[in-house]
Amino acid sequence: MGSDLTVVNAARVSYAKESTELTDRDRRLIAFLAREGHTSPFRHAILQYEVYAPLMVARQWWKYVIGSAHYEGTGDSLDAWNESSRRYITEEPVFYIPQADEWRSAPDNSKQGSGGSVAFEIGQEAMERLIGLVDRGVRNYEWALSVGICPEQARLFLPAYGMYVRWYWTASVQSVAHFLSQRLAHDAQAEIQAYAKAILTFVEAKFPVAINELLTKGDDLV
């Protein structure tokens, strides 16, 4: 909803002024707003995404919705999140299973994140063990449904963190910039970093000036 002009016009409404076409003067205004931390105009520009990702990615992502109401000076959050629920649906589960060459080692000097790739043989065994775990979980899940156990309890048999979930995320440009400023970082978890790159592509198409200024000049303010 909106465009870079939305940010400009939200900023100028107190002077009863409105732009109908983005000018260099408007671009300078957006840069000034981002640089000086005048972020409320960015919250009138809204994006909505439908996301399909493993639960471990979804739960990292969710914290940006929880935290978005607490940015200094922002007031109420404009973020919304609605997720599919296995209390109600019984569609075939889909799982994220890294291939043998995609398993990463623990980092040397940190309790979080990851290091380089593990040996291929270890990755191969990890992949096979995870496939076995998923297969057993799905069989147990299907058994529970077949004997009449309700879906909201049958789902307990499914290995949760690798299971794909689907949700709608609606957020202001400011909130999206906050997410991107952290999840595009080189030390962000590789899986969520891949999603952040896709989110950036979409937001750049709709709000190229606003997102560039927020990420390059105001990323410590969002």
Domain range holding 113? 100-157
Together in a domain, 104 and 208? no
Q: Phi first, then psi: what are they for 221, rounded to 5°?
A: -110, -10
Answer for the pair 159, 138: CB distance below 8 angstroms, yes or no: no
Cα distances from 218 to residues 26, 99, 144, 210, 211, in angstroms, run 17, 38, 51, 10, 10
183 located within any domain: yes
- 92 assigned to some structural domain: no
pLDDT of residue 73 exceeding 90: no
Look up the CATH number of the domain holding residue 173. 3.30.1360.170
pLDDT in the model for residue 74: 46
pLDDT digits (tens, 9 = 90+) for 148-193: 999 889 989 999 889 999 999 999 999 999 999 999 998 899 999 9
Catalytic: 12? no
Q: How many domains does the chain have?
A: 2
Q: Are residues 175 and 194 in the same domain?
A: yes
Q: Kindly state whether residues 171 and 70 are assigned to the same domain.
A: yes
In this structure, the answer to whether residues 170 and 133 fall within a common structural domain is no
Residue 32 lies inside a defined structural domain of this protein: yes
Residue 221 lies in a domain: no
Same domain, residue pair 46 and 141: no
The mean of the pLDDT values for the chain is: 88
Kindly report the pTM of this predicted structure: 0.82
- 63 and 15 co-located in one domain: yes
pLDDT of residue 113: 77
Query: Does residue 110 lie within any of the structural domains?
Result: yes
Q: Do 115 and 208 belong to one domain? A: no
Based on the domain organization, do 78 and 62 belong to the same domain? Answer: yes
Average pLDDT over residues 21-48: 94
Query: Encoding tokens for residue 104?
Result: 């990463």
**Residue 185 is which amino acid?**
A
Q: Which of 157, 184, 200 is the last residue of a domain?
A: 157
Q: Residue 69: its pLDDT value, please?
A: 55
The region that residue 16 occupies, defined by phi over 0 for left and psi between -120 and 50 for alpha, beta otherwise, is: left
Question: Average pLDDT for residues 47-63, to the nearest whole number?
Answer: 92
**The pLDDT value given to residue 70:** 44
Catalytic residue (one of 43, 86, 155, 183): 183
- Give me 80's structure tokens: 């919304």
pLDDT at 114 over 80: yes
> pLDDT-derived band of residue 209, with 50, 70 and 90 as boundaries?
very high
Residue range 123-137, pLDDT digits in tens? 999 999 999 999 999
171 φ/ψ angles, rounded to the nearest 5 degrees? -150, 155
Confidence of residue 194 (pLDDT cuts 50, 70, 90): very high
- Of 115, 135, 157, the residue at which a domain comes to its end is 157
- The reply to whether 196 and 210 lie within a common domain is yes
Specify the pLDDT at position 83: 81
Considering only CA atoms, give the Rg of the chain.
Answer: 21
Helix (H) or strand (E) holding 183: helix 173-183
